[in-house]
Chain A
């Protein structure tokens, strides 16, 4: 049985319970939704959480996820989000190069005037 550490419980967004996967959008409520209901808009909301806040997930465990559809979804989300958590600024980094220098340049020039 997978046991979560108590201090991390509040920031968990993806959990495994009773052979099924669950997700939630708000960490404050206990409104857990079954993973087969997750939509792309929900994923975008989770992405926002993952890049701006503490973000925890139950580790993926093939044995514990007996529902095969849930298993597929969980496995993919878990993999992709773990990768993301290692580099939270990836979406900004590539874009920074192109626009941030212009923004900084003009901001400095404006402040000087």
Chain B
């Protein structure tokens, strides 16, 4: 097995936060993680001078590469190590650099194909389950040159590995070799290969049976620290006496992961009320965001409508029309021309037609739900529909082009005629837009009255807790100050709240409320947290709630670390509520729990055990971590030392044998010799 990391950064570009490169760190990293090959893949740039400097200072193969912004996602392009290829590659990469100058720029697929016409020479690895990911259609268009995709975490790796139709997943560090780098990442991929070569790696990335998360232990384990500690991708329980290195180890795991949720000891007892409120506010803002999403778009549109201005324009039009009519007898040569008093052609808005076309094309192209779609709509009918709609769009666009062309011609003519005439001119007026604006305002008033009806909009069960979120009408200017988090004099505006939503909106604008936050001012959204008896939670229950929330929140991360949950809670709660949640999360991602508590330690049935031990050898403290399955008789440390699982577990979890006997029948039988 060879260990490779084909995604590393050595140059700070516009796409990175600023860092200072350290060659020493590259050497340390390669040595400590026992890597067999790396690739240098900076954002949209390749520097052969620096590349050779790195290659010459390492004894392993270093591949030249680049990470390119392609169609809004990132893709690694890695080439071979001979001098000719490197020089050719650098020239091509320079073209990429000249196009991508800011972190907003991205290469189009056509540009990419033009710069790299022979893709068979390279290894191409797009971000698949990792941000910013390359779109599926882009990946499709680069087939057959893409066989593997980069994922962001162990759990994503495992998920992708199971999907036999998908790309072969790879996990790389994406590390920045900066001066301050101390805890090296442990995200690398093992490949089943004897000698490292570009074509060898390429053939492995084609075959999911040839890649692995660990050297010998397959894909149910991962390396958790740079020192070589291997833990389960499910649930690992870490035990050990006080100051035997448990927290130090958790810190290292956290740093190496880069994206771990770390619930520290006692952290939930401090400021539990403040944390409870913050948690609720975060949750609330998410619910608010979801509930008001559509209304927000409505407000964004309605803010553009200026009814008052429309009325002024109608007045002006009528005045000019009356004047024109009264002067009819005195018409001169110029104002008598038909074109002089004509309105311009109205050009049709085709946005909806384009949307319909897109929708039909989505129906045709969608693979995921093709069987359901075809049950109701035959592909051939969809294609005929697409043709007819496209034809309609084509004709309408041509028609619009013609009308625009005529409008510009008649504008030129009337402008010249108007200069010459002594008669008055009829102002131009877009009746369609004005009528539409009126309809929009009416609809807006209706939508807002619907919105103002009090209702429960969200209910979430979290362990024994229930969070109910509801909407309520605004009751006065104080409510508005709370929403705006300011002291503006909202009372005049509030006077319109129950009269006309549109007028209310205008008054809020006059007060200086930003357009983007106007949508917040139409209803109150509040939530309450209830315990299992339906009462509002007490102080003691708040920290329990916080723990459940924190553990649930972990699904957004790559790894969950919990340090002594028992320090904040009683056994009953841990046993009843927390253990099952932890077990569930460990099926989704790796979880490491440090504990002294037998309720957590033994009855949770972990996948793997790690025991930290401190021993004094030759007047020096040696810290070791012994690992193994819960059913193993012996646990083994990295340097090959062994300890008895049964004895150690008892002394860590219970106050020795006496205490154990009371619980004997419950948990430890499995371990007994």
Given the known inter-chain contacts A43-B406, A44-B403, A76-B412, please indicate yes or no for A99 contacting B339, CB distance below 8 A.
Answer: no
Asked if B387 and A107 make an inter-chain contact with CB atoms under 8 angstroms apart, the answer reads: yes
| Cβ-defined partner of A36 (8 Å) among B337, B394, B401 | B337
A80 to B402, CA, bound (A): 12
- Complex Cα distance, B338 from A67, in Å, reads 15
User: Which of A7-15, A24-32, A55-63, A88-96 lies at the interface?
Assistant: A88-96
Q: B409: CB under 8 A from chain A?
A: yes
Query: CB-CB < 8 A to A38: which residues of B?
Result: 337-339
Distance from A110 Cβ to chain B, minimum over Cβ atoms (Å) = 5
- The residues of A that contact B410 with a CB separation of less than 8 Å are 40, 43
Q: Which residues of B contact A106 (CB under 8 A)?
A: 383-384, 386-387, 390
Can you list the 5 inter-chain pairs with the closest CB atoms, starting with the nearest?
A95-B397, A99-B394, A36-B337, A91-B401, A106-B383
In this assembly, does A72 line the interface, its C-beta being within 8 Å of a C-beta of chain B?
yes
| Contact B383–A99 (Cβ < 8 Å) | no
A91 & B380 in contact (Cβ 8 Å cutoff): no
Mark out the residues of chain A between 73 and 97 whose CB falls within 8 Å of any chain B CB in the assembled complex: 73, 76-77, 80, 84, 90-92, 94-96
- CB-defined A-B contacts under 8 Å, sample of 28: A36-B333, A36-B337, A37-B337, A38-B337, A39-B339, A40-B406, A44-B403, A47-B405, A47-B406, A68-B333, A69-B420, A72-B334, A72-B416, A73-B337, A73-B417, A84-B405, A91-B398, A91-B402, A94-B401, A95-B394, A95-B397, A95-B398, A98-B393, A99-B393, A100-B394, A106-B384, A109-B383, A110-B387
A4 at the binding interface (Cβ < 8 Å):
no
Among B357, B401, B406, which residue has its beta carbon within 8 angstroms of that of A95?
B401
Verify if B345 is at the interface (C-beta below 8 Å from A). Answer: yes
Across-interface contacts of A53 in B (CB, < 8 A): none
- Tell me the chain B residues, 380-426 only, with Cβ under 8 Å from chain A: 380, 383-384, 386-387, 390-391, 393-394, 397-398, 401-403, 405-410, 412-413, 416-417, 420
B-side contacts of A43, CB under 8 Å: 406, 409-410
Q: How far is the CB of B356 from chain A (nearest CB, A)?
A: 13
Main secondary structure of the interface of B (DSSP, over half): helix
Minimum Cβ distance to chain A for residue B76 (Å): 31
Give chain B's interface residues, CB within 8 Å of chain A: 333-334, 336-339, 342, 344-345, 357, 361, 380, 383-384, 386-387, 390-391, 393-394, 397-398, 401-403, 405-410, 412-413, 416-417, 420
CB-based nearest B residue for A110: B383
Taking CB as reference atom, which chain B residue is nearest A48?
A: B402
Given A40-B410, A72-B413, A76-B409, A103 and B337 touching (CB < 8 A)? no
- Are B390 and A99 neighbours in the complex by a CB distance under 8 Å? yes
A77-B413, A91-B401 given; 19 more Cβ-contact pairs under 8 Å: A39-B342, A40-B342, A40-B410, A44-B402, A44-B406, A47-B402, A47-B405, A68-B333, A73-B417, A77-B409, A92-B398, A95-B397, A99-B390, A102-B387, A103-B390, A106-B383, A110-B383, A110-B384, A110-B387
**Size bracket of the A interface:** 20 to 34
Instruction: Please determine whether A98 and B397 come into contact, CB atoms closer than 8 angstroms.
Output: yes
**Contact residue among B342, B391, B405 (Cβ-Cβ distance under 8 Å from A91):** B405
- Contact residue among B333, B384, B391 (Cβ-Cβ distance under 8 Å from A67): B333
A6: CB under 8 A from chain B? Answer: no
Q: Is the beta-carbon distance between A40 and B339 smaller than 8 angstroms?
A: yes
Q: Are B420 and A68 in contact (CB under 8 A)?
A: yes
Closest B residue, CB atoms, query A67: B333
Q: Could you tell me if B387 and A103 are in contact, using CB atoms closer than 8 angstroms?
A: yes
A42 to chain B, nearest CB (A): 8
CA distance A47 to B410 in the complex (A): 13
Residue of A whose beta carbon sits closest to that of B416: A72
B380 surroundings in chain A (CB, below 8 A): 110, 113
Alpha-carbon distance between A36 and B331 when the two chains are bound, in angstroms: 13
Q: In the assembly, what is the distance between CA of A44 and CA of B345, in Å?
A: 10
| CB-defined contacts of B337 to chain A, threshold 8 Å | 35-38, 69, 73
Q: Which residues of A contact B (CB under 8 A)?
A: 35-40, 43-44, 47, 67-69, 72-73, 76-77, 80, 84, 90-92, 94-96, 98-100, 102-103, 106-107, 109-110, 113
Residue of B nearest to A73 (CB): B413
Q: Contact at B413–A103, with CB atoms within 8 Å? A: no
Chain A residues contacting B407 (CB-CB under 8 Å) are 40
Interface centre among B334, B339, B342, B408, by most chain A C-beta atoms within 10 angstroms, is B339
Q: How far does the alpha carbon of A80 sit from the alpha carbon of B345 in the complex, in Å?
A: 17
The answer to whether A102 and B339 touch across the interface, beta carbons within 8 angstroms, is no
In the assembled complex, the Cα of A72 lies from the Cα of B409 at a distance in Å of: 11
Nearest CB of chain B from residue A87's CB, rounded to whole Å: 11
Q: Which residues of A contact B344 (CB under 8 A)?
A: 40
CA of A90 to CA of B342 in the docked complex: distance in angstroms? 26
- In the complex, what's the smallest C-beta–C-beta distance from B343 to chain A, in angstroms? 8
C-alpha gap A92/B397 in the complex (Å): 8
Q: Which residue of B lies closest to A84 (CB)?
A: B405
A103 touches B401 (CB 8 A): no
How long is the Cα–Cα vector from A44 to B405 in the complex, in angstroms? 9
- Contact A39 B397, beta carbon cutoff 8 Å: no
Instruction: Tell me the smallest distance from the CB of B144 to a CB of chain A, in Å.
Output: 22
Contacts of A107 in B (CB 8 A): 387
* Closest B residue by C-beta to A95: B397
Which residue from chain B places its CB closest to the CB of A77 in the assembled complex?
A: B409
A107 to B145, CA, bound (A): 30
Residues of B within 8 A of A35 (CB): 337
- Whole-angstrom CA separation of A44 from B420 in the bound complex: 25
Distance in angstroms from A57 CB to nearest chain B CB is 14
In the assembled complex, the CB of B646 is this many whole angstroms from the nearest CB of chain A, namely 69
A25 and B112 CA atoms in complex are apart in Å by 52
Whether the pair A102, B336 counts as a contact (CB closer than 8 A) is no
Contacts of A99 in B (CB 8 A): 390-391, 393-394, 397
Q: How far is the CB of A54 from chain B (nearest CB, A)?
A: 19
Contacts of A102 in B (CB 8 A): 357, 361, 386-387, 390
Chain B residue, CB-CB nearest to A94: B401
A69 contact from B383, B387, B397, B417, Cβ within 8 A: B417
Inter-chain contact A36/B338, CB cutoff 8 Å? yes
Cβ contacts under 8 Å, B345 to chain A = 40, 44
Chain A residues lying within 8 Å of B420, measured Cβ to Cβ, are: 68-69, 72
Q: In the complex, what residues of A have CB within 8 A of residue B390's CB? A: 99, 102-103, 106
Q: Which chain B positions have C-beta within 8 A of A98?
A: 393-394, 397
CB proximity of A105 to chain B, nearest CB, Å: 9
B337 nearest CB neighbor, chain A only: A36
Min CB gap A80→B, angstroms:
5
